[in-house]
Chains A and B, each alone.
Chain A
Amino acid sequence: MSNGQSRFHVPAPPFRPGDAPDFSHLDLQKAGEAKRPDPLTASVKMTDLAFGLIGVLDHNHQAVGEWDPRLSPEVLREGLSHMVLTRIYDARMLKLQRQGKMSFYMKSLGEEAVAVAGAMALNKSDMVFPSYRQQGILFARGRNIVDMMCHCISNSRDNLKGRQLPVHYTWAEGNFFSISGNLGTQFPQAVGYAMGCAYKGEDTIAASWIGDGTTAAPDFHAAMTLASTYRAPVILNVVNNQWAISTYEGIAKGDAATFASKGLGYGLASLRVDGNDFLAIYAATKWAADRARKGGGATFIELFTYRADAHSTSDDPARYRPKNEFEKWPLGDPIERLKNHLIGLGEWDEDRHAKLEEQMTALVVKSYKEAESHGTLHDGPLSPTHTIFEDVYATEDWRLRRQRQDLGV
């Protein structure tokens, strides 16, 4: 490794466009192999969980091992339904963006389980501090789809009055914190919120998600320090989807064995989880939530997954990675895996699945028609122009009043 001389080192991904992707170098722990300790176990006694991979669904789509959350078929079908809706919603929104009906969009293709399973394992009273690519949380919490679309097309019914880029949702009623465009800022805020829950003696907790690239940002370390110092009832998730726009995960990870292992130095319970396994994510989140609610403090979770589509509508992944890389991804497709599991249980079949897809497509199409009836970014109506001066402060001061009058609104 060393030839006795320092070397300038910049890591590079194993495959670039034109290469044949091959993930056989990933030594992934098999589903069912990871131990499931009691949720109040000291973090130093379960360091192996930060290096392995918590998985429940095996290659035959059967639930195996100690982490099996033993969910009822109803809950599994609900999860599947939210994930299918997320995928159909995303596909339709992308199409609409290409038609010029939306300024921007970000899909969560391949990562649907991260948001949906995480949300379903939390209580609805728990506050989530999400990143983008987590519209699945909104579906799992019952957000009105028309409202989500109205936000994305910034029309007169946009609950954010046209101030946020599409997919930067806010839904206070659903305990869904306002999404920032500045990456990672929500991570330490979630810890502060969780501390507030503990301060008030409530049973609620907070959870937050950032991407693998954002672990390099100062706010990541701020959050980890706060969570550890104050033993906050928070779940801090890193969605390792391999790509931060064109930058592969190694640029943020450096020589760390896994992202999850970064939590160990902070004294946090640190889990590495198959991010394409609905059951594993559900189980790990539930375990972490139990730990938080029982006073065991924060849990740091790496969700090992793959961003199957572009970063956003402004990105073309074919310029930096092999086109078929996702097909070679060893952890498969989260929807297919849960669907096959349910079929294996005799609780689902292809016909019902096709019908579900049809229903969800119809729902999305109908909802968009309704959303569009409240206006679009291009053709209006938008929220009234004077609203640009609202909500800066609790009450308008002379500067804003005069500027609003200058604009004549």
Chain B
Amino acid sequence: MPAMNMLQALNSAMDVLLDKHPETVIFGEDSGYFGGVFGATQGLQKKYGLDRVFDAPINEAAIAAMAIGMAAKGLKPIAEIQFADYIFPAFDQIVSEMSRLRYRSAGEFVSPVVVRSPWGGGIRGGQTHSMSPEAFFTHVPGVKVVVPSNPYDAKGMLIAASEGDDPVIFFEPKRIYNGPFDGVPDAPLSSWARHPKGEVPEGHYRVELGKAEIVREGEACTVLTYGTLVHVAVNAAEKAGIDAEIIDLKTLAPYDIETIVASVNKTGRVVVAHEAPRTSGFGAELAAQIQEECFYALEAPIFRLTGWDTPYPHAHEWAYFPGQARFIRALQTVTEAR
């Protein structure tokens, strides 16, 4: 099985989809000839032609709306928003239209669109290229929200998303496009080639949406996270010598409640972690749901490890990012609480 980084895995997923489904079309800003600013669609226009993979005007609302219209006609559009920070001009089309078309038309029209977007910080992107706006979308009935943390899932979930019947917001953690990241910015980058999830089948496979994965079993506490922070969490737990159970949520809407509840009932202690600001972040939803379902199993307050309630600062990026040191402190706080 070949080793791929996440970009190669995503590219491979789109290659498979374009090959297998003639109704698949891919477009976005710079997505065509150039292959995307991160290279996710590289080579696809050359292989499949200008009408399958093409450039879109710099108008995210237009990109989303075009995708909705195409999906209503029976195509399977995969639209790229160049950075997750740029998704807000498309917000109305996604939130008011794409998400609700099936509902408002009682199933007479549907809009199974995949919106891909590079997401999260850690690449010195400043406050307009670093956001993780997932909570805006997990609040919206009718869209699924996905954040894979490795090449294997990225490919399998993108294929599952595109072959599904619902709109999917597919956020790609760009910090780990090329390799996992342990949360220490000065440490040398490892490569996906040596990671078990860097082994990616070349052909078609699906990774089901809505299922979380226990990436590290443990008894001392449960860590609920997704995207880049999955790797930070694993490294923090190893470094601190804490027997944490780490769950990669993978899909945030709908999230996998069964896996979460089983783990929290076992450990009684919880860290919820994300890069996005704390207030009304996705961690707040997790904490509330756990409180409802696992209150009597809890032995410590749920700890929220998050970005700060500020935009993502350029120069102080690593003070914003919940890196390894903050993660270790969070694990210690939760496991030492009596």
Contacts and interface: CB of A to CB of B under 8 A. Distances in A.
Interface of A: 127, 129, 159-161, 163-164, 168, 170-172, 177-178, 180, 182, 185, 187-197, 199-200, 206, 218-219, 221-223, 225-226, 229, 390-394, 397-399
B303 interface: no
B101 interface: yes
B213 interface: no
A196 B69 contact: yes
Contact of A196 (B73, B105, B106): B73
B104 A182 contact: no
B92 A196 contact: no
B70 to A, nearest CB: 4
A218 B51 CA distance: 26
A226 B27 CA distance: 13
27 contacts: A163-B103, A163-B104, A172-B109, A178-B105, A178-B109, A187-B65, A189-B69, A191-B66, A195-B69, A195-B70, A196-B70, A196-B72, A196-B75, A199-B25, A199-B51, A199-B70, A199-B73, A218-B61, A222-B59, A222-B61, A222-B62, A225-B57, A226-B66, A392-B102, A393-B166, A398-B254, A399-B254
Interface in B90-141: 92-93, 96-97, 101-110, 141
B163 to A, nearest CB: 12
Interface in B253-304: 254, 257-258
Give the one of B25, B93, B142 with max A CB within 10 A.
B93
Contact of A200 (B73, B96, B103): B73
Contacts of B89: 218
A252 B172 CA distance: 39
Interface of B: 25, 51, 57, 59, 61-62, 65-70, 72-75, 77, 89, 92-93, 96-97, 101-110, 141-142, 144, 164-166, 210, 254, 257-258
Contacts of A168: 104
B144 A188 contact: no
Contacts of A229: 57
B309 to A, nearest CB: 27
Nearest to B52: A199
Contacts of B104: 160, 163-164, 168, 170, 178, 180
Nearest to A198: B51
A172 B110 CA distance: 11
Given A199-B75, A394-B166, A226 B57 contact: yes
B65 A189 contact: yes
A393 B70 CA distance: 19
B336 to A, nearest CB: 33
B101 A397 contact: no
Given A163-B106, A192-B70, A394-B166, 6 more contacts: A170-B108, A189-B65, A223-B62, A391-B102, A398-B254, A399-B254
Contacts of A218: 59, 61, 89
B105 A160 contact: yes
Contact of B105 (A170, A188, A394): A170
A194 B75 CA distance: 11
Contact of A171 (B51, B57, B108): B108
A243 to B, nearest CB: 24
A192 B105 contact: no
